[in-house]
Chain A
Amino acid sequence: MNFEQILNLFIQDTTQTSVGLIRPELILCGTILSLLLVRLFSIDRWITPSWVALVGAFVAFGFAATDFLALKESGGEVVQELFTGLLVFDRFTAFFRIFLMLFLVLVVTLTILSGLPDNEDGPDFYTLMFGATIGMMVMASSNHLLILFLGVEMTSVPSYVMVGFLKGRRVSSEAAFKYVVYGAGAAGVMLYGISLLCGLLGTGNMSLMAERLELLTSSGDSIVSGTAIAVMILMVMVGLAFKLSIFPFHFWCPDAFEGATAEVAGFLSVASKAGAFALLVRFALAFSSGDAGALQPTFLYIGLGVGVIAALSATYGNLAAYSQTNVKRLLAYSTIAHAGYMLMGVSAVIVLMNAPADQMSEAAANATRALEGLLYYLAVYMFMNLGAFAVVAFIRNSIFSEEIDDYAGLVSVTPILCVCMLICMFSLIGMPPFGGFVGKFMIFASLFEAGSVHWVMWLVLVAGGVNTVFSLFYYLRVLKVMFLDPRPADAPDVDVRWGSLPGFYTILVTVPVVILGVFVQGLSSTAQNVASVLFP
């Protein structure tokens, strides 16, 4: 095969298959360009940038949905590598795309309603947000260690700017700076791990990782120990843990959330977590799928370690949230705790996949259920966390404060926002009949199942249960202030009522939290279907 043939093959692959399957990403790129052009040619006097962004997000959502439905209907196990194996397109990719696009639509709508970026700043703001979203979609579909790194960075860099978007506010600048420094450190460690892994395996393609690792260790005179491989893998995970704000890589999170606006904090807390979880699952399954052979105990211990970190993260987040007086800061710690719960699901997946063969007969089926739990949790988390941040944003617009004490007696002025906050927070605690309970139940169930592989997972389960009780206090403290305390006489009014658009939006975001708690079967089946594609 000469060079020209290779080139032709490459062009064919790119134009005929690959480009067609990244339509949502392309639409977002197009939207970014038109946002910039709109300002360049002063069209933004007639069309506000936010509407351009909303239309772009909607169209991308439409394409993502079509792709997903087509894939679901075809029924086959479609796993298609794009761009010579850099990206992968399967149901898992499609699920996260639809998830991220839906979330983008909701967040853009929220920014329109809360009027956060004015027309002047709009193009910048939406460019950053859309750029970060493209990064997340790349993360979710990544099939190569290089793309893994690119995806994380593409998400991080716009996020740094978005956190500091309120120019001239010291808190924001400080938060953004902190975020950058931590991000750079984590990226460095991750890149080091990637380069070690690539050098060792001779490829960065994640679908080949398990195979190569087995080759390396099965030949008698192995040049590399299991510990060394574990260290490399953990280094890559550090970068992801930073994006997930997992303890002990969480320090940026409370400051960044407090400094950023509620809309940005809501965006970061859900979307970047979803992308990072998708990537973490892909990465974890890349090395542990299939028959790991001699490395199986190593991977099992990595899984247990992830479980312990998850338990610590949940505990830390919940305990640290107690003393907070700022709602966004409190929600930041709650985010850390929830990342911990979801990471428990990932650890269950790793442990179940690496169970000794004689202990677990249906490892793949059980791991599918664990992953189903994670996906369900993420879906509910999107609505309940966004709902909470939306309420914070709308209240801020009226009372110009995000201190919990200033929420006293709000139920008497804006019952609609307060009831939505109540539903979101009870769902965050994990109370039925709200969706948060179902997600938590699924993850706890898979932890219990993983406990039969190794008893440490039972301890993780107990930690999860204890944390549910811990978390009760601080969520209820906010609700107590809103519902039980009297409204001070001189407190400003909050004008969000039934008929108003913000009220309608909050209901729109909150209703799915209830629906997902009662009508579980639909999403559960979808999530199972999506998860199963990763366990051929």
Chain B
Amino acid sequence: MNSEYILPIIVALPVVGAILLNFINKAQEEAMRVFAVAISAITFFLTLQAWFNFDADATGMQMVFNAAWIPNWNINLTMGVDGISLPLVMLTSGISMLALMASWSIKKAVKGYLILFLLLEAGMLGVFVSLDFFLFYVFWEVMLLPMYFLIGIWGGARKEYAAIKFFLYTLVGSVLMLIAMLMFYFNSGRSFDLLYLARVGQGLEQGYGFDQTTQLIAFVLLFIGFAIKLPAFPFHTWLPDAHVEAPTPISMILAGVLLKMGGYGIIRIAFPLCPYGAQTAAWALVAIGAWSIIYGAFAALAQTDFKRMVAYSSVSHMGYVLIGLGVWSINDTTGAGVNLQYWQMGLNGAMFQMIAHGISSAGMFFMVGVIYDRVHHRDLNKFGGLMGKMPLYGGLSIGLFFAGLGLPGLCGFIGEVFVVLSSWQYSKFLAIVAASGVILTAGYILWAIQRVYLGAEYKGPHADEITPINGRETAIATILLALAIWFGIYPAVLLDVMDGSIAELVQAMDEGYQRVVDVTAVSLKQ
């Protein structure tokens, strides 16, 4: 296949699937489900194709697609992937497929559910492949509509509250992003091209540039927008509600993919476009990250709702991403980066953590969903003894929970250890805080395992409805666990793809920062 068209096809395919679903008779639920899974499977194989097309040694964007959309406003349909976005595209299509396979538990209005789900998938994939800020923004917003209804219609008891809270938080972030977008647009001679804007931000374009104030304001606006999605500490309160009330497959998507958009937005847009703003605010990123780790972990310890516990663990895990992004030390007098290889390691760790968390948290939410479907409650204190009744389920669950815990040999470990190691030279205190977060994580996960899976016998409600895990559920859990083990034992499969692009980013940011500081210093002298 011509590699130029592979990305637009990947984005368009779920939309086409959603349109075609309209023509299937409402009564044939099984056919619709199979059709939707097939669409998402084809999408997944196309992303796999893109993965094999990808040349890890080459620099810059690959498989770039470019077409004019609104020439009057210089808006283009530009898509492309590099080592940063490609793993996330893979993650998105993979988790979407697994989440659709997990959607057999949805019994109500199946057709609407599947249509919205496929639209959501298209939006998510679009965000990760867009290289035009306007297009990115459109996809970013397009996800909100399906998500609102997926939580609001198929969710739990407080679904309406959770859905509107999610919508509201994200929309606030989007509006801030829109203002930042306009700032870039008018200071760059009317362009939304992210690669061009990055060059402007790094002082590489003659005649245009974002000065220090612009960069700081824009970075703060963008950061708040992305931190809401991530979510980082003061903006996280939508997450427990949304995750708990959403149906299981949507929780998988929320934790597995949507949270990654915050981190991706920072690394793809906020960083390269505002190196000065990023460097100035780096300590804030690290501080917020460290606080999120500890706060999220303590909050998770305090939960009695199984799903809520997993939700707070996401807040904690995403804190590592922020630390990894922020550990950029510079020499205060020259502005040159100090020990940049550690920052590069931190970025690698942050990216790896995003993928690893995508797999482990999707797995954990799925496992919670499996037991919820059977006993219809999630109270941690009313479980126990599941290991005896559902041994296969128990084993798979414990594997996935250990992956979330960060046990060496599983995927969660690599990201955390990279981040903690890289933070040592930035601030020893922070490294200690981040590392102690691992202990708390072990605390809440082991305690949860003890209360749910171990123990003599199950004493909670609906004890007689506990049936062994079925084949479809086993398949989903096994795939996720296998990936967790594979990435834990052989992380190079991801790191090789990511490292080139991240090294490029580190170098560009370092030089860009010095150039921006320099330009301002020169203009001050005049």
Contacts and interface: CB of A to CB of B under 8 A. Distances in A.
Interface residues of B, number: 33
Query: How would you classify the secondary structure of chain A's contact residues: helix, strand, loop or mixed?
Result: helix
Interface stretch (A60-68, A83-91, A194-202, A459-467): A459-467
Interface in A342-379: 372
A442 B190 CA distance: 13
Interface in A420-466: 426, 431-433, 437, 441-442, 444-445, 448-449, 452, 461-462, 465-466
Given A432-B138, A448-B183, A473-B164, A521 B72 contact: yes
Nearest to B111: A415
Interface stretch (B38-46, B152-160, B260-268): B152-160
A125 interface: no
Contacts of A521: 68-72
A161 B429 CA distance: 76
A524 B72 contact: yes
Contact of B159 (A469, A472, A484): A484
Interface in B71-123: 71-73, 75
B503 interface: no
Contacts of B178: 441, 444, 465
A480 B185 CA distance: 36
Contacts of B159: 484
Contact of A445 (B69, B138, B185): B185
Contacts of A461: 179, 182
A480 B182 contact: no
A316 interface: no
A472 B167 contact: yes
Nearest to B73: A524
Given A432-B137, A444-B178, A483 B164 contact: no
Given A445-B182, A484-B160, A528 B72 contact: yes
B483 interface: no
B473 interface: no
B167 A448 contact: no
B171 A468 contact: yes
Contacts of A224: none
B479 interface: no
- Most chain A CB neighbours (cut-off 10 Å) among B73, B152, B168, B176: B73
Interface string A13-40: 0000000000000000000000000000
Given A472-B168, A480-B160, A426 B70 contact: no
A480 B164 CA distance: 9
Contact of B152 (A372, A472, A483, A520): A483
Contacts of B72: 372, 520-521, 524-525, 528
A469 B138 contact: no
A444 B175 CA distance: 11
A484 B164 contact: no
A468 B141 CA distance: 13
Nearest to A419: B112
A448 B142 CA distance: 24
A520 B70 contact: yes
A495 B159 CA distance: 29
B152 A433 contact: no
B144 interface: yes
A449 B138 contact: no
Interface in B451-493: none
B182 A448 contact: yes
A507 interface: no
B187 to A, nearest CB: 10
Nearest to B182: A448
A429 B45 CA distance: 36
- Most chain A CB neighbours (cut-off 10 Å) among B69, B71, B159, B175: B175
Interface in B146-181: 148-149, 152-153, 159-160, 163-164, 167-168, 171-172, 175-176, 178-179
B145 interface: yes
Interface string A504-536: 000000000000000011001100100000000
Interface string A473-499: 100100010011000000000000000
Contacts of B137: 432
Given A468-B171, A469-B172, A449 B164 contact: no
Contacts of B141: 431-432, 437
A372 B72 CA distance: 11
B84 to A, nearest CB: 24
A462 B179 contact: yes
B186 interface: yes
Nearest to A423: B145
A524 B70 CA distance: 8
B209 to A, nearest CB: 16
- Most chain B CB neighbours (cut-off 10 Å) among A426, A431, A528: A431
Nearest to B75: A520
Contacts of A465: 175-176, 178-179
A442 B71 CA distance: 14
Contact of B142 (A432, A466, A468): A432
A484 B70 contact: no
8 contacts: A426-B145, A432-B141, A448-B179, A448-B182, A465-B176, A466-B175, A484-B160, A521-B71
Ranked nearest first, the 6 interchain pairs of A and B with the lowest CB-CB distance are A432-B138, A465-B175, A448-B182, A520-B70, A524-B72, A432-B141
Given A445-B186, A520-B73, 20 more contacts: A432-B138, A445-B73, A448-B183, A452-B186, A461-B182, A465-B179, A469-B168, A473-B164, A476-B148, A480-B164, A483-B153, A484-B152, A484-B159, A484-B160, A520-B69, A520-B70, A521-B68, A521-B71, A524-B73, A525-B72
